[in-house]
Each structure stands twice: as structure tokens, then as C-alpha cells.
Chains A and B, each alone.
Chain A
Amino acid sequence: MSVGDGDEAPISKKDLNEVIAHLHPKEKLVLIGLQKGFVDAKDIARELGISLDAVIWASQLLKSKGLVEVEEHVELKYTLGDEGRKYIETCFPEVRLIAKVKSAGGEAPLSELELERDESTFGISWALKRKWIEIKRRDAERVLKLTEEGLKSLEKPYLPMQVLLKLSRGEQLSHEEKQVLAELKRRGDIVRELRVKHVRLKLTKTGAEVAKLIKPTEEVSELTRELIITGRWRKVYLRPYNVEVPTTIPVRGKKHPYREIIDEIREVLIGLGFEEVSSPPIEVNFWNCDSLFMPSDHPARGIHDIFYLKGTAQVSEVAPPEIWERVKTTHESGWTTGSTGWGHWDPRLALRLILRSQTTAVSARYLSVLKPEDLPKKIFTIDRNYRPDRIDSTHLPEFNQCEGIVVAENVNLRHLIGFIKSIAEAFGIKEVKFQPAYFPFTEPSVVGYIKHPKLGWIEALPGGIFRPEVVRPLGLDVPVLAWGLGIDRLAMVALDIDDIRMLFTNNLEWLRSKSIPSIWRW
């Protein structure tokens, strides 16, 4: 905003103070600097200890407010170019040329002169221009002949050389020398012209009045306790930062991204009324297989399917005697379940210690202590299981499973499908289709397929109603709906990884830089 231009009527002190209130600290500094008499912007910058750019920027603002006049002029400066510097050492090629011709007796054929490259090109052309030599033709050869002029020139100082020397010393050139400069400018890289911009500032009348009233502002970078409590912060200028440059990310704590997914799943299941349970992953074959009515010779009980530990458990530690006996009889002949049974059972195998291979073992243990008065009950577990699978991008020897059961009177297959569907819906999956499936411990069994936007229909939600051969020996006589969630698979999709090994990665950089995932986003 323009306050006063040039030589107007003097302005009141009140107005002046207003002007000062709106001045940027750098503007204030420049006004003060001009008071001290400096004119060139460069000089002001140096004296005030601030950058030339800051001075020029402030002066533009001051100009728009009518407080200073800004004059710009461009100075032409000359320095030596590469050739120029060379010639200072070696002399101009035309001078060297005629010196050589003179030594050769004032006249010589070209071939005999042993000329440097620049002598034979620029040297000859400039020597000709100065009329220092003549060229004759003799025997198909060019012959150079020194003229009177040329001879005389060797005894005089060469004006172009003077110019170079003066330029190298930074001395002023005479008028005559300036003419020579014009000629030199056209010759290769002998002299270089620089356009130097000079900015000169001058206070206007108003500017001078304002300048008299200014007290300079202190510039600080830290807002200290002292500044805050004394109020001195009002009198200083907090140096601005370059807020647009990124900085380093601080070291911080974070949940493991897989854990984030597990916690989201837990939240959904708890919200659906399921109670969380857990159980140590070191198991006994009895609970992992036998109580689930898997026959002793089931193919999935071999050394390629279950990790066996050295040692066995005691019957008394494994199960109460009634349950042990009932499971035994159920396997052998069906007991009172109404089944044919398998016709055999290996109690020694049942006592083998193993690493749990399916969380259904947890459900079995839980069922064995449920009483009819506890019903209805819905429980779930998410925990670690183990299988001796070869390690590749979709298999690991240890992995997580999620499963749950609904224990209640009068629940049926349609309810099972209903539960699986509602769990899928809770995760935003609307399309689920169900097909028959097989699991040794459920009948009927289902598997729910979900539609993935990229992968199409994928098998993801197994389930079934526990066989009576499983439930009755454990002391209950109600239907038990069981369902599972392939959470390793779900986590891989949510974390956008296609190798299961990444779930257990040791890559700290990946963990640090992974944005917090969510099961809802996929």
C-alpha cells in the first residue's frame, strides 16, 4: 500500500507509526541501512548481514509503499576467456606468425615455417587484415612475405595485448582500447562479457521520515521460556523455516500389521457374541484327533501331517476316565452314539505328545467341560497350529487358525450357513456360496466360497455340525455348529502380500514403513 510518493506534504506521526507497524523486519532493516547512507543493494546486504535476495525483496515492498526508489542498471564487465588467458602467456597468433616470418628472412614458403595450428589459421587471417604480410604463389606453394607495416609492428606494443593485460588486472580501458575490445569480442573465446545487474536504492522523503523512527527488530529462531513469560516475544521476530522440506521419520512403536488384522477379527467376533478362549499349543493326540473321531489309522495322522514330540502323556493327565472310556468305545464300536464306530482304537497313539495341528482340539476340550446349564454358548479362538509342511510361498510349518463353535439346542445346518454368512458380512463380504465338504469330525459339512474382486471364487469358510461320535462322549447331546476362518489367507490379502513367509518377516524396514492395514479395505 502506497503511503506517500516522493515529495508530498509531510505525514503525521500517527500515520507514520501505522506504517511502521505494518513493516516486515527486513523492510525495517533496509530502511535503517539506507539511513546510514548506503546505496548499492549489495553493500546494504553485506553490512546488515542478510542475503541480497532478502534486500531486493524488501526493497520491492518498500517501493510499492513509496518509501524508497529503486534504480537498476546493468553493467557490462569483461573477463578473459580461455583463448584470452592463453594469449597472455603465448602472445597473439598473428604476432607469433610474423615473428617467425621475420626469423626466416622476411619471406618463406608456408611449408617451411613450422606454424602452430592457430598461427596458420587465425594468425594468417589477422596478419593479412592488418596488412602485415602478403601471400604470393610460387611453384604451387604459398609464400608469406613480411611487409613494412609488419616489420614496424614488431617494434611497437600490440594494442589487443594491452587490452588483455588491463582486463586481467581489472584496470579501466581507454577509449581507443575499448574499440579494440569490440574487435576482440568477435574473435573466439578471447574475452567474455558479463552483464552485472546493480540495484541502487534511495530513500524517498517519506521513507526518510519513517526511517528516523524505526528501531530494529531482533531476529530469533528459538521461542524460549524467557521470551514467553516476559512478553518479549512481541518485540522479536521469529525466523521463518522452510516448512516445505520433508524431514526424517522418528523412531516409533507400532503393532505388528498381522496383529492389527487379528485384533479386527477378534472385535468382529466378540461383537457377534462369541467368547474368546485359548489353549496351549502343545497337545495330546487324544484331543487333537481321537476325541474328534479321527480313526487311529487316518492318513492325516502320520509323520507328514503332525509334529510328534518326544514323550507321551499319562492317561490321568489327558482326560477324566469317563471321557477316555467313552471315546475308546465310540471308536471301537460306536458306543451309544448310534454309529458303527471304526472297529479299532490305538490308545498308545492317543497318548502321544504333539504340536497341535488344528484349533478344533481347543473346541473339543472346551466341549468336555460345558454343562447343559451353560448353554447356549458361542466361543471362538485364534491361535497357532503346526504342520510339517514344506516351506513355500503358501505353506509354513506354523500358522494361525481361527475357529468357533455354537453350542445350543435346536440349531441346524441352515443356522450354520447363517452364522458363516453373517461373519462374512461383518467383514463386508456379501457374496458367499456354499458347497458340500468333508471333514472327519463334522457331518454334514460345508465350505463357503467368497467372491474376491481379483481372484474370483475362493474357498475360505469351512464349517460343519460336529458328529455325535464327537459330542456325545464329551458329555453333551446338543448340536454343535463349527466354523473356521482362514486368517493367514485373509491377512495376506489385507496386507497385500503374496508370500505367507512375509507374515513372520524379519524385515524391520518393511514393518516400519507398512501403513496400518485393515480387513475392511479389501
Chain B
Amino acid sequence: MPTITIDLSELREMVGPVSIEELVEVITQLKGEVKGIEGDELTVELEPDRPDILSVEGLARALKGYLEIEPGLHESSLKPLRDSGLTVKVINAKVRPYIACAVVKGLKLDDRAVRSLMRMQEVLHLTLGRNRRKVAIGFHDLKAIHPPIIYTEAKPTDTMIPLDMPIEMSLKEVLEKHPKGIEFKHLVKGGYPVYVDKQGIFSFPPIINSERTRVTEESENLFIELTGIDAKAVKQTLNIIAFNLIDRGGEVELVKVEYENRMEVTPNLEPRKMKVNLNEISNLIGIKLDEKLAKRLLAKMRYGISKISKSELEVLIPAYRVDVMHMVDIAEDIAIAYGYANLTPELPNIVTVGKPSIMEILEAKIRQSLIGLGLQEVMTFTLSGRKLQAKLMNLDNLELVEIENPITLDLNVYRRWITPHLMRFLSQNKHVAYPQKIFEIGYVAVPVNGRIEVLRNTAAAVASSKATFTEIQGILQALAVDLGVNFKLKKWEHPSFIPGRTAAIIVNGEAVGIIGEIHPQVLNNFELEVPVVAFEITHYKPTYPNSREKPKSINDKIKALWMPTQTKKRGKLELAYPQ
């Protein structure tokens, strides 16, 4: 959400007298939110979809259209531009191969205007420029430039006098010592793209300009250069800047860009043409659009219209509207101009029957059963840590789904089983009355043979001075009756449970879970002072809506892939299923 600060007085100079209420209303319609007004400064948070209004000039331009002060296509969309006579030769540009340039003459820059220019540059860098990686912008005082201009790769030892650090230094030193160099050196890995004229290097994009071409209040004519890794993006960004400077009273002139194998002339401020069908737009929004209304609404949003035939319009999209990609973008603008508040809500005449998902139906039964057995439902994180999942549970090692960019080290894996989270829950309630009986139903994820299997598990635990295997077994049996499932217990060994008091839960010949008395080492690890008995089962294997597999539940045939168990041969934990 880019936030911009604009001078209210400047905005009013450009638009005309407009009240705060009108301003706030139109900004809201342009998807913005007025965050604050302090003195003359207005802070607005906008959406990234309209980079053209991220500056006072662009916002003023949009306002004039919406308020019908100056509706329709901006006049400069159709005015041919003069040739500046400048040519920029592109030689051997590898790191940032695409450029776009322009000359702007006749600007009267005061302190406020220079500030606006910098804000515009900053916000475009941040949004369209993707933090300068995609596009970088340089403003230069034209009178300090001495053609011929070449854009090329320099050597690290070549020198320049960078802005704000007015001593001659090598480009390598700029990357090492200048704050902008340090911040953006990763964008020029291995290269040194520069603009050079007769007097030497005057720009090192995207890093920094030179002192020589610094723009001040005295500057009347500017040379603007954009560089980047996306040919379309550099041109689009230049278009936005050009229109902003035109609205400031400048005259934009063309620059020739001579690549090694082609020639371009920038900027091209001509509008794009898109054919739209009025009936389609009407159907999309749900209003009746006739030609007259459509024209007015399009004009409010500053589009032009070139051809009309029956219900087809050819819309002229201004060059600064880089966000318009499809007819639906124009349709939304028409709806905005119409006013969302004027759209009466309606329900369509369709009848559908609602129903819960199979997973939820099953889990509602599990929930009902366990609540009826006196267990409190809890909800813990699915994100977990290796220590909680393995070490505290007396397991040496466990294969876990790992997150590359976790926010903290103890939330850097996806849980493989829920029981450790129940143990942690119990350990945080040592001073609460016993018995404590809890359960959770939720997701677990297991890496299996290079894939990740996601399962839905149910885990239950009882902590009390009288907790025994019999008690948790009784709960499991009651749950099985309620789900209509037959199960067998097979004695099993698991480091988290007491040997001789542990069993695997077998349904339809597969191990679906484990049950037992928690090992006192684990109790010590969690600083618990009463015995705990627990079970965990996989009750459902979910699938993606577009998967060819069908989901499986405990009533079919399902496997507890999360169950680790120690094999006697190797010291490592492996998946091994009871036969």
C-alpha cells in the first residue's frame, strides 16, 4: 500500500478550489484512504493499481476528470511532440539492457516542485520500479549535459562525482562507500552501467547521479533517463513522469535511443486503443449503459473515444494508464464513475443447495464424541519447532516439513503430529485444577519419499494423578463406537510412551495411530508433575479439489504416515508399520 504525501495548496492550485469533503470522497472512489491532514500536508494511502496517481500531478489530473472540471482525454495525449535532437547510443548494456529517455523544457521549479519531483521518483521506484530492480529513474539538469550521450558498461575503476558525496571516486568505491551504493549494489551484480557524455560519467543507474547534473530550483530543462530489466516497464514509467511534468508546465521533447540492432523514439505519449462492447460492460456491472452515459462516464475517468458503432466503442487509453490490461479494467472505471453507491444490490435468480464437506461432517462427529466424554477442545498452531516435535518428546530425529523463511526459529517446521502441542498446552496449566482432559483436530504434514502428505489428525490427552492407560483406552473405544469403526490394539514401542504401556491403533489392517502412557522423561522435559495418557490418530486424508485422488477417511482405509517408530537395527527413526 503505497502512501504519498502531497501539499494541499499545490493540489488546489492544479485542480481548483475543492473542499476537503470532495477530496476525501473522490480519493475513496480512487481506492485511496486519507490517513491524515497536518497543516498543508495530506497523507493518502493508495492501492498499487494506479501508479499514475501516486503524485500530486497525477492525483490532480484524475480529480479534474472525476469532478468533471476537465473530463476526457488529456490534451497532450494527442499533441505531437517536438524532437529534442538528442540521441542516446546504447552500447554493450548487459546488466540493465532497456532504457527510455526524454527531455522536458520550460519548467519553473520552486522548492515545493523539486520536493514533489523527488517524491514522485521515490514512489515510482518503490512500486513500478520494484525497489529500483525493474526500473530506475534519473533526473538531470539538461544544461550540464554535453552530448554525445552513450549508455554503456564502464569499468570499476572509472570515476564520477556522485550526488551528496562530492568527491571524485571510482565506481567500485561508490558501491562500497556511498549509501545508495551500499543499498542497491545487488542490482548491478557484475556490471557498471553508466551514462557518459563528453565530460564523463553523469549517471550510474540505479545507484546514483552525479553532482554535475543535479536538479535545482534554477533548472529549467531536464534530461530524464530510465533504465531497467523490462522494456515495457521503463517506457510506461516514463509516460507517467512525462505527463506529470507536462501538467507542471513543461514541454516534453523526444529522444532517440539507438540500440545496437534497432532504434526507438521515446516517449510515446499516444493513447492505446481498445475495443469494448457496451453490452458486455453493461452485463458485467448490471446497469444499462447507453452511448451517451458511457461517453460521460469514460470522460470522467479521462478516457477518450475514437469510434462508435452500434454497441462497440473504441476507447482511447491514456499512455499513463499503465494498469489497463483488459476490458474489465475499463468496466471497473465505468462502474466507479457511475458510483458504487448508485448500484442497487440484487440477488440473482439461481438456486443451489448448500451442504457441509465430508471432512467437516466426520470431524463434527469426532468433536461431539470427545466433548461428550468430557474433553475440552483446544486450538494450537500448526507451525512448530523441531525441539517441540522431536527432542522434548524423547525422539532423536524426525523428518519434518521445513520452512525456508520462518519468522522465528521455533516456528520453522510444519507439525508432524499434534501430541507435542497438547503436551505444551498441559505444561502451561500446571496450576489449574486436575483432571485436565483436552483434544485437538487439525492438520499435520509429513515428508514421505520426497513428497509432502497432509493429513487430518485427532489427538487427545488426559493429565491427572489417576491417569492410566485404561482411561484413555476407554475414551478411544467410545470414540470408535461413535464413529462406527472397529479397531484393534497391537502392542508397540515408541520413545515418547512408556514401554509396555503403548499400542498402535489398527483399523482395516493399517496403523492409524498410537495410544499409551506418556514416558516420564517426556513429562520431565515438559516439567509436568502428573501422569499423562494420550492417543493420536489420523482420521482423514484430504485431497485437493482438482486432484484425481479421492479423500479417504477412517471408515475406509487410511494410514498414519506421521507415526515414527524406532527400528532396532539402525539408530535412526524410520517409518515402519505394524503388520
B35 in contact (CB, < 8 A):
no
A508 in contact (CB, < 8 A):
yes
Distance of B19 from chain A, by nearest CB (Å) = 19
Known: A282-B401, A438-B49. A414 touches B285 (CB 8 A): yes
How far apart are the CA atoms of A270 and B354 in the complex, in Å?
4
Q: Are A436's CB and B407's CB within 8 A?
A: no
A339 in contact (CB, < 8 A):
yes
Q: Are A280's CB and B454's CB within 8 A?
A: yes
Contact with B along A420-445 (1 / 0, CB 8 A): 11100000000001111110000111
Distance of A396 from chain B, by nearest CB (Å) = 8
A147 in contact (CB, < 8 A):
no
Could you say which of B104-112, B247-255, B431-439 contacts chain A?
B431-439
Q: Of residues 439 to 473 in A, which have CB atoms within 8 Å of B's CB atoms?
A: 443-446, 465, 467-469
Q: Are B332's CB and A259's CB within 8 A?
A: no
Max chain B Cβ within 10 angstroms of own Cβ: one of A271, A309, A434: A309
The one of A280, A299, A334, A413 that contacts B343, using a Cβ cutoff of 8 Å: A413
The one of B47, B326, B372, B378 that contacts A469, using a Cβ cutoff of 8 Å: B326
Distance of B465 from chain A, by nearest CB (Å) = 13
A163 in contact (CB, < 8 A):
no
Contacts of B360 in A (CB 8 A): 266, 276, 278
Q: Are B348's CB and A408's CB within 8 A?
A: yes
Q: Of residues 266 to 294 in A, which have CB atoms within 8 Å of B's CB atoms?
A: 266, 269-282
The one of B48, B332, B377, B411 that contacts A256, using a Cβ cutoff of 8 Å: B377
Could you say which of A67-75, A126-134, A203-211, A387-395 contacts chain B?
A387-395
CB-based nearest B residue for A509: B432
Contacts of A270 in B (CB 8 A): 354-356
Q: Of residues 303 to 357 in B, which have CB atoms within 8 Å of A's CB atoms?
A: 325-329, 331-332, 335-336, 340-341, 343-348, 350-357
Q: Are B29's CB and A434's CB within 8 A?
A: no
Contacts of A436 in B (CB 8 A): 28-31, 332, 335-336, 340
Q: Of residues 536 to 579 in B, which have CB atoms within 8 Å of A's CB atoms?
A: 542-546
Distance of A355 from chain B, by nearest CB (Å) = 7
Known: A340-B325, A445-B332, A512-B376. A275 touches B354 (CB 8 A): yes
Known: A369-B545, A418-B345. A511 touches B352 (CB 8 A): no
A322 in contact (CB, < 8 A):
no
B38 in contact (CB, < 8 A):
no
Known: A338-B327, A366-B546, A389-B407. A274 touches B376 (CB 8 A): no
Contacts of A509 in B (CB 8 A): 429, 432
Could you say which of A5-13, A47-55, A97-105, A376-384 contacts chain B?
A376-384
The one of B336, B373, B382, B452 that contacts A309, using a Cβ cutoff of 8 Å: B452
How far apart are the CA atoms of A446 and B336 in the complex, in Å?
10
Max chain A Cβ within 10 angstroms of own Cβ: one of B29, B357, B437, B452: B357
How far apart are the CA atoms of A343 and B98 in the complex, in Å?
14
The one of A254, A421, A434 that contacts B376, using a Cβ cutoff of 8 Å: A254
Known: A259-B377, A266-B360. A386 touches B454 (CB 8 A): no
B284 in contact (CB, < 8 A):
yes
Chain A: how many interface residues by the 8 Å CB criterion? 96
B485 in contact (CB, < 8 A):
no
How far apart are the CA atoms of A421 and B348 in the complex, in Å?
13
Known: A365-B545, A414-B344, A438-B31. A274 touches B328 (CB 8 A): no
Contact with A along B352-374 (1 / 0, CB 8 A): 11111101100010010011111
Contacts of B343 in A (CB 8 A): 413-414, 417, 434
CB-based nearest B residue for A305: B405
How far apart are the CA atoms of A366 and B546 in the complex, in Å?
6
Max chain B Cβ within 10 angstroms of own Cβ: one of A255, A319, A408, A412: A412
Q: Are A508's CB and B425's CB within 8 A?
A: yes
B443 in contact (CB, < 8 A):
yes
Q: Are B379's CB and A503's CB within 8 A?
A: yes
CB-based nearest A residue for B322: A340
How far apart are the CA atoms of A438 and B48 in the complex, in Å?
8
Known: A376-B350, A433-B341. A282 touches B414 (CB 8 A): yes
A347 in contact (CB, < 8 A):
no
Distance of B452 from chain A, by nearest CB (Å) = 5
Max chain B Cβ within 10 angstroms of own Cβ: one of A253, A465, A469: A253
Q: Are B373's CB and A253's CB within 8 A?
A: yes
Q: List 28 A-B contacts (CB under 8 A).
A: A251-B436, A259-B367, A259-B377, A270-B355, A272-B354, A274-B354, A276-B360, A279-B545, A280-B454, A299-B48, A308-B403, A309-B401, A309-B452, A341-B325, A391-B407, A408-B350, A413-B285, A435-B340, A436-B31, A436-B335, A438-B31, A443-B329, A444-B285, A465-B328, A504-B380, A506-B380, A506-B428, A508-B378
Chain B contacts to A: CB under 8 angstroms: 28-31, 47-49, 127, 130, 134, 230, 232, 283-287, 325-329, 331-332, 335-336, 340-341, 343-348, 350-357, 359-360, 364, 367, 370-383, 401-408, 411, 414, 424-425, 428-429, 432-433, 435-438, 443, 445, 450, 452, 454, 542-546
Taking A419-B347, A465-B328 as known contacts, 17 extra A-B pairs with beta carbons closer than 8 A to each other, sorted by chain A number, are A253-B372, A256-B377, A277-B545, A278-B357, A278-B359, A281-B454, A282-B454, A309-B404, A310-B404, A337-B326, A339-B326, A388-B406, A411-B348, A412-B284, A414-B285, A415-B346, A506-B424
- List the 9 closest A-B pairs by CB distance, nearest first: A414-B286, A444-B332, A412-B286, A253-B371, A280-B454, A270-B354, A438-B47, A418-B345, A276-B357
